[in-house]
Amino acid sequence: MVAEGKGVVNVEVAFALPHRQRIVSLTLPEGVSAREAVRKADLAQYFPDVPRETFENAALGIFGKALRDPDRYALQEGDRVEVYRPLRIDPKAARAARAADKQG
């Protein structure tokens, strides 16, 4: 992370697929939201096969802790914003399917 000074924060925005990840370092104005940082990171350019809406509407977290309102969370120096991929299957449905398979 580059510049330090009054009025800016240095943050990272991370997104990962099973075999590929990208972490983008950004210097942004103080008070910028987690959602705005994801927009500024423009992850779609690194993942052209992922629909842009995935990044625009994704759940976000900071160091593994989900944010309730990423549009209002003001980033702090050193934060890493994580962009969470949507679940492919509901966890309850997956457990039920595994249990049914075990029963034969």
The domains of the chain are located at 8-83
pLDDT of 59 reads 94
- The confidence band for 3, taking pLDDT boundaries of 50, 70 and 90, is very low
Q: What is the pLDDT of residues 47-94, one digit of tens each?
A: 999 999 989 999 999 999 999 999 999 999 999 999 998 766 666 776
Q: In angstroms, rounded to a whole number, what is the distance separating the alpha carbons of residues 35 and 83? A: 9
Domain 8-83 has CATH 3.10.20.30: yes
**Total-model pTM:** 0.78
Say yes or no to pLDDT of 43 above 90.
yes
- Identity of the residue numbered 98: R
Say yes or no to pLDDT of 34 above 50.
yes
Q: In angstroms, rounded to a whole number, what is the distance separating the alpha carbons of residues 63 and 81? A: 7
pLDDT of 96 reads 76
